[in-house]
Chains A and B, each alone.
Chain A
Amino acid sequence: MEPRRNLRTVIDPKVRKVGFFAPPDRSQSGPADPISAASAVQASSSSPSGNTLSPVMIPPPRHHSDSLVHPQPSSRPVLHSAIPSSYTAASEFSPTAASSYTSGSRFPVDVEDGPFSPSRLAKGTSVKVLASSVPNVSLVTKPSNMAASDRSGRMKMNEMVAPGVEVQNELHGNTKLSKDKLSKAERRALQESQRAAKAAARVEASKGSAGTFGTAPAKAAKAASRKSDNASVAASEKKVGDRPVEKERKKDVPQPRMQYDDTSRVEKAKRRAVVKQTEARNRVELFRHLPQYEHGSQLPDLVAKFFQLEPMHPAVYKIGSIIFSVIIIHMVGLHYLSGDISGGNARCIAMLQAFQEVIKDYSTPPEKTLSRDLTAKISSYVSFFTECRPLSVSMGNAIRFLKSRIAKLPLTMSESEAKTILQSDIDHFINEKIVVADKVIVSHAVTKIRDGDVLLTYVTSSAVEMILQHAYELGKQFRVVVVDSRPKLEGQFLLRRLVAKGISCTYIHINAVSYIMHEVTRVFLGASAVLSNGTIYSRVGTACVAMVAHAFQVPVLVCCEAYKFHERVQLDSICSNELGM
């Protein structure tokens, strides 16, 4: 896969390729520890030079700090709030509240992986943040940070959010992020502060960021306030490992994801959080390394933010079209949060289409390059999505792809050309990697279905559903057993669609799978991700079904598109997961 290849290539001489480096490398470098680390991740993708940075690469913080922000040790941290959390659903705080949302809500900064956080924290100032630190000069450097965030794993990009933000950081001399990791939340907070400062001055610059994270006008206090708020969005009930739809994106290898039982990192992340996350009332000790928040309580905040966009920045008068894209982004985020859009493919497509809108409405602010600014904007949106719901592997890979595409744009290209190319690139991605891939999967899989088969499937998977429907259209005679699970009982949707089509089905609960397995001939499962040690990452309960099928010697077939492959490894479901709502 293309993105993976990029990982290994050295793109920016300034930036150390992350490749399979251990995170400590990053942390050690550069003063801005966590932030730089985050930025490193992000930066890797978008090196300042704008060359073919592999998104995965994580520039060492040192570099960034040197280049960027020496002058401001304090400001950066916000900018670089990595989005890391967004990808690794479990490990990091779900939303990296990089930018300070309007005053109140701060998303807990997911902050990057565990290992980074400590190191980052140690480093203190986010020199790495780079971008933020240097108001004018640093704008250029910022992109490096952003590059890092390309990869879904490294949402450090948040930092990059807006060069303008950085400028503001300078103004405020934020010190907030002394040690935090570049989390989106922090960056957003920085942005907020910056925006407030120059609200009147720069309409354009803050356009993007303001729109997205429109927050309180009083940015100055943001930095400080950002740190303080730890809104807790209780995402998970005390149930353990409920819905692992984890689609985490491991940042390219070595970066270990943030472990939530590392309190120092957690604190930093929280300070950067844009959205307040309510901590779950009953924390489960086993999952101390994962974020445990209550979902749902985020919803009113997000909706409020959504409608506060306008009033938030009175000085910023956006054209209607620009706001439209922001609206789309928020809508998609809300859909994720409420569970309306679920499933790896659906979420990825929704996100990419939202990004298409963003690109369509985008116009480069003066004194900024399209690639960097747009990447920053994308990163900020990605961090927003992460706050709504941790990113899936499919989404992460798509973001990585998009950022690499943006980074590859030649600087001399005109804006409209670039935008068209990007939009068509996204279309190609959706078409090739999802639509056509599904068709190929279906055509292969229907050959495995014979007449008289009894097929068992677990909950909903878009690929498996297409296979069943296609096989039915081909006229094969078979029966389907739909296994459902708590708490969402999603199998009923699949059941409804199959029965409406005329396929004869049996509906059971997961507990009865031993009862039914002796009459099943094949098991079809979908996957959220395929990891590099061959393990399948999928909805909770899939392992139970596969195990019982194995005990009864029933063949198990897993259907997964290739863009959902990821290079990390995992042994069991506790290492990394997404705690459900």
Chain B
Amino acid sequence: MVGLNLSAVSDDDDDTGPDDHPVLSAAAVAAASRSTLRPPSLQTLLEDMPDSATVPHTSSSGGDSEGKSKSADKSSRSRKLKHDVIEAVNELIQDIDTCHEQITEQAVEHIHHNEVILTLGSSRTVLQFLCAAREKKRSFRVFVAEGAPRYQGHLLAKELVARGLQTTLITDLAVFAMISQVNMVIVGAHAVMANGGVIAPVGLNMVALAAKRHAVPFVVLAGSHNLCPLYPHNPEVLLNELRSPKELLDFGEFSDCMDFRSGLGSPLLHVVNPSFDYVPPKLVSLFITDTGGHNPSYMYRLIADYYSADDLVLQRKAVPSN
């Protein structure tokens, strides 16, 4: 399960559907053979289990498959199910590991000589993408925005320099100033929503707006594991993660000027430190995934490929008491 940490994704990453494990049960096999286009959903498969009590299908992805075999009697089916689920998860891990290669193969098509690329923060996908283009002897320059408050851009800049790319490190504020000199913006994504919107590290909405204003292509690199079938309603709040404010202000730094005797309910000073930004699909020019390049409006199709319709809504099924 260590591999799953790579995605760093919330648990809305559903089970990708054991499309390669058609043999779970006779019914499943039949169903699979009937609908080769639509992989059988895990829910369907698991529903076929006669003793469903033993397998509480919470439909949570990548759940510990051991938990599923609580039944006292280790029926062969549960063992098989366990085995299949574990295999599916392993394959997911492998997908995540290898998605980079397929994405970086497309780097050559997009990055050309004497181009200027802008990126923000640090993403392994972006790093490998740029290095792949570099290996093909394309010479280009990179502007890296540091990505406060975590300043991961510094790490990316060091890596790029180590690989021989001409890099310039800029602050996030200077993005608008530099965007007129940039040919393309390439960023990685935390998650891609069903409408083509992107949950990206904080600050990328600003970059996307600037790119749109200056007609600079905004390219998002996303592996298929980043796909999320949800539609973002109010994504800034619901799909965001607020980090500790100490990255912006030290605790106690402002205690000298704040009046704690006032006894008011609301404190005088709020510090907000979100870690993600939502980029609407109209600001994104292109998605590069391991299946090729796509338009934002096409992303919903990919979700249909990777997710079964039944699995879109996470529900906990009531386990019949035994």
Interface residues, chain A, with chain B CB atoms under 8 Å away: 238-242, 244, 284, 286, 484-487, 492, 495-497, 499-500, 502-516, 518, 540-541, 543-544, 547-548, 551, 572-574, 577
Q: Which residues of A contact B258 (CB under 8 A)?
A: 499-500
**Do B213 and A547 touch across chains, with their CB atoms under 8 A apart?**
yes
Interface residues, chain B, with chain A CB atoms under 8 Å away: 143, 146-149, 168-178, 180-181, 202-203, 205-206, 209-210, 213, 236, 240, 248-249, 253-254, 257-259, 266-274, 277-278
A244 nearest CB across to chain B (Å)? 7
A sample of 19 more A-B contacts (CB under 8 A), given A499-B268, A500-B258, A544-B206, is A238-B168, A239-B169, A242-B174, A286-B181, A486-B171, A499-B269, A500-B257, A504-B268, A505-B269, A509-B149, A510-B203, A511-B149, A513-B206, A515-B202, A540-B171, A541-B172, A541-B174, A573-B174, A573-B178
**Do B173 and A506 touch across chains, with their CB atoms under 8 A apart?**
no
With contacts A502-B259, A512-B202 taken as known, whether A487 is within 8 angstroms of B171 at the C-beta atoms is yes
Q: Which residues of B contact A505 (CB under 8 A)?
A: 268-270
With contacts A504-B266, A511-B147, A574-B177 taken as known, whether A238 is within 8 angstroms of B172 at the C-beta atoms is no
Instruction: Give the most central of B170, B171, B173, B269: most A CB within 10 Å.
Output: B173
With the chains together, A502 CA to B272 CA distance in Å? 19
With contacts A240-B168, A486-B173 taken as known, whether A514 is within 8 angstroms of B206 at the C-beta atoms is yes
Q: Which residues of B contact A485 (CB under 8 A)?
A: 171-173
**Do B272 and A510 touch across chains, with their CB atoms under 8 A apart?**
no
Q: Which residues of A contact B175 (CB under 8 A)?
A: 544
A-B contact pairs, 12 of them (CB 8 A): A286-B181, A485-B172, A485-B173, A486-B173, A496-B254, A500-B258, A507-B248, A507-B249, A507-B269, A507-B270, A515-B274, A544-B206
Q: Which residues of A contact B178 (CB under 8 A)?
A: 240-241, 286, 573-574
With contacts A244-B177, A574-B181 taken as known, whether A511 is within 8 angstroms of B171 at the C-beta atoms is no
**Do B205 and A514 touch across chains, with their CB atoms under 8 A apart?**
yes
User: Which 8 residue pairs spanning A and B have beta carbons closest together?
Assistant: A541-B173, A511-B203, A573-B177, A514-B205, A500-B257, A543-B176, A506-B270, A511-B202
**Do A518 and B236 touch across chains, with their CB atoms under 8 A apart?**
yes
With the chains together, A574 CA to B253 CA distance in Å? 36
**Do B269 and A511 touch across chains, with their CB atoms under 8 A apart?**
no
Q: Which residues of A contact B253 (CB under 8 A)?
A: 492
With contacts A244-B177, A544-B173 taken as known, whether A515 is within 8 angstroms of B254 at the C-beta atoms is no
Q: Which residue of B lies closest to A492 (CB)?
A: B249
**Do A543 and B148 touch across chains, with their CB atoms under 8 A apart?**
no
With the chains together, A286 CA to B181 CA distance in Å? 9
Q: Which residues of A contact B148 (CB under 8 A)?
A: 486, 509-511
- Across the interface, A543 reaches (CB within 8 A) one of B143, B149, B177, namely B177
With the chains together, A512 CA to B203 CA distance in Å? 6
With the chains together, A551 CA to B149 CA distance in Å? 23
A89 nearest CB across to chain B (Å)? 15
Q: Which residues of A contact B259 (CB under 8 A)?
A: 502
**Do B177 and A508 touch across chains, with their CB atoms under 8 A apart?**
no
Q: Which residue of A lies closest to B266 (CB)?
A: A504
Q: Which residues of A contact B269 (CB under 8 A)?
A: 495, 499, 504-507
**Do B174 and A495 touch across chains, with their CB atoms under 8 A apart?**
no
A478 nearest CB across to chain B (Å)? 13
With the chains together, A507 CA to B267 CA distance in Å? 13
B166 nearest CB across to chain A (Å)? 9
With contacts A499-B269, A518-B236, A548-B205 taken as known, whether A511 is within 8 angstroms of B177 at the C-beta atoms is no
B38 nearest CB across to chain A (Å)? 37
With the chains together, A495 CA to B270 CA distance in Å? 11
With contacts A508-B273, A572-B180 taken as known, whether A239 is within 8 angstroms of B206 at the C-beta atoms is no
Instruction: Give the most central of A239, A505, A511, A572: most B CB within 10 Å.
Output: A511
A22 nearest CB across to chain B (Å)? 25
Instruction: Give the most central of A505, A509, A516: most B CB within 10 Å.
Output: A509
Q: Which residues of A contact B257 (CB under 8 A)?
A: 496-497, 499-500
B310 nearest CB across to chain A (Å)? 34
B130 nearest CB across to chain A (Å)? 19
**Do B274 and A512 touch across chains, with their CB atoms under 8 A apart?**
yes
B146 nearest CB across to chain A (Å)? 7
Q: Which residues of B contact A511 (CB under 8 A)?
A: 147-149, 172, 202-203, 206, 277
With the chains together, A515 CA to B257 CA distance in Å? 27
Q: Which residues of B contact A543 (CB under 8 A)?
A: 176-177
With contacts A507-B270, A511-B203 taken as known, whether A547 is within 8 angstroms of B176 at the C-beta atoms is yes
A577 nearest CB across to chain B (Å)? 8
A239 nearest CB across to chain B (Å)? 6
B167 nearest CB across to chain A (Å)? 10
With contacts A547-B176, A547-B210, A573-B177 taken as known, whether A509 is within 8 angstroms of B171 at the C-beta atoms is no
With the chains together, A505 CA to B266 CA distance in Å? 11
A238 nearest CB across to chain B (Å)? 7
Q: Which residue of B lies closest to A487 (CB)?
A: B171
A180 nearest CB across to chain B (Å)? 31
Q: Which residues of B contact A286 (CB under 8 A)?
A: 168, 178, 181
Q: Which residues of A contact B254 (CB under 8 A)?
A: 495-496, 499
- Across the interface, A551 reaches (CB within 8 A) one of B209, B236, B248, namely B209
**Do A239 and B171 touch across chains, with their CB atoms under 8 A apart?**
yes
With contacts A496-B257, A499-B268 taken as known, whether A240 is within 8 angstroms of B206 at the C-beta atoms is no
- Across the interface, B271 reaches (CB within 8 A) one of A240, A242, A496, A508, namely A508
B215 nearest CB across to chain A (Å)? 14
Instruction: Give the most central of A286, A507, A509, A515: most B CB within 10 Å.
Output: A515
Instruction: Give the most central of B213, B254, B267: most A CB within 10 Å.
Output: B254
Q: Which residues of B contact A495 (CB under 8 A)?
A: 254, 269
- Across the interface, B172 reaches (CB within 8 A) one of A486, A492, A497, A504, namely A486
Q: Which residues of B contact A574 (CB under 8 A)?
A: 177-178, 180-181
**Do B146 and A486 touch across chains, with their CB atoms under 8 A apart?**
yes
Q: Which residue of A lies closest to B121 (CB)?
A: A511
With the chains together, A515 CA to B210 CA distance in Å? 16
**Do A510 and B205 touch across chains, with their CB atoms under 8 A apart?**
no
A77 nearest CB across to chain B (Å)? 36
With contacts A495-B254, A573-B177 taken as known, whether A506 is within 8 angstroms of B203 at the C-beta atoms is no
B276 nearest CB across to chain A (Å)? 9
Q: Which residue of B lies closest to A518 (CB)?
A: B236
With the chains together, A564 CA to B267 CA distance in Å? 38
Q: Which residues of B contact A507 (CB under 8 A)?
A: 248-249, 269-272
Q: Which residues of B contact A487 (CB under 8 A)?
A: 171
With contacts A239-B171, A512-B273 taken as known, whether A547 is within 8 angstroms of B177 at the C-beta atoms is no
With the chains together, A544 CA to B180 CA distance in Å? 13
Q: Which residues of B contact A573 (CB under 8 A)?
A: 174, 176-178
Q: Which residues of B contact A502 (CB under 8 A)?
A: 259, 268
With the chains together, A572 CA to B176 CA distance in Å? 9
- Across the interface, B236 reaches (CB within 8 A) one of A484, A510, A514, namely A514
- Across the interface, B170 reaches (CB within 8 A) one of A240, A244, A512, namely A240
With contacts A284-B168, A495-B254 taken as known, whether A510 is within 8 angstroms of B173 at the C-beta atoms is yes
With contacts A499-B257, A548-B206 taken as known, whether A506 is within 8 angstroms of B271 at the C-beta atoms is yes
Q: Which residue of B lies closest to A459 (CB)?
A: B173
**Do B272 and A515 touch across chains, with their CB atoms under 8 A apart?**
yes
Q: Which residues of B contact A544 (CB under 8 A)?
A: 172-173, 175-176, 206, 210
**Do A515 and B277 touch across chains, with their CB atoms under 8 A apart?**
yes
Q: Which residue of B lies closest to A506 (CB)?
A: B270
Q: Which residues of B contact A515 (CB under 8 A)?
A: 202, 236, 240, 272, 274, 277
Q: Which residues of A contact B176 (CB under 8 A)?
A: 541, 543-544, 547, 573
Q: Which residues of A contact B143 (CB under 8 A)?
A: 240
With the chains together, A238 CA to B171 CA distance in Å? 11
Q: Which residue of A lies closest to B258 (CB)?
A: A499
